[in-house]
């Protein structure tokens, strides 16, 4: 599956602002993933944002408009959400979602 290169550029820029450093990138899950300290922070599948928000924030964020379970394996992946393209079309909305991702990933030990 290809990924939206414009969204990838916006994610890079936003994560640089949020984390203070450019994330590493890795092709995973048929898309592009952004890694911070060796841990997956978020990714892009097609034109949707794959958001790693962690188990504690999962249910509250799942209730937000445009958010859905990440279930391409046939089973929902707890702590991972898929965010519709329309939901992150606005830079502020994208920044807000990525802030949730960074807040979770910074709690993980570096790999």
Q: What is the pLDDT of residues 21-77, one digit of tens each?
A: 889 999 987 899 999 999 999 999 999 999 999 999 999 999 999 999 998 778 888
**Rounded-to-integer distance, Cα 29 and Cα 22, Å:** 21
Q: Give the number of other Cβ atoms within 10 Å of residue 65's Cβ.
A: 9
Which pLDDT belongs to residue 9? 96
pTM of the model: 0.94
Q: Tell me: the pLDDT tens digits for 68-104?
A: 999 877 888 889 999 999 999 999 999 999 999 999 9
CA 44 to chain CA centroid, Å, is 7
How many CB atoms are closer than 10 A to CB 101? 30
Q: How far apart are CA 1 and CA 46, in angstroms?
A: 6
Contact in structure between 51 and 11 (CB atoms under 8 Å): no
pLDDT for the residue numbered 81: 97
Q: For position 96, what pLDDT does the model report?
A: 98
d(CA 98, CA 18): 8
């Amino acid at each position: 599956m290809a990924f939206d290169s414009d969204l990838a550029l916006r994610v890079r820029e936003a994560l640089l602002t949020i984390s203070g450093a450019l994330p590493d990138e890795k092709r995973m899950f048929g898309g592009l993933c952004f890694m911070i300290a060796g841990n997956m922070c978020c990714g892009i599948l097609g034109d949707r944002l794959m958001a790693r928000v962690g188990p504690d924030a999962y249910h509250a964020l799942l209730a937000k408009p445009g958010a859905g379970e990440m279930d391409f394996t046939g089973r929902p992946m707890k702590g991972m959400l898929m965010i519709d393209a329309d939901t992150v079309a606005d830079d502020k909305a994208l920044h807000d979602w990525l802030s949730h991702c960074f807040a979770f990933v910074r709690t993980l030990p570096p790999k």
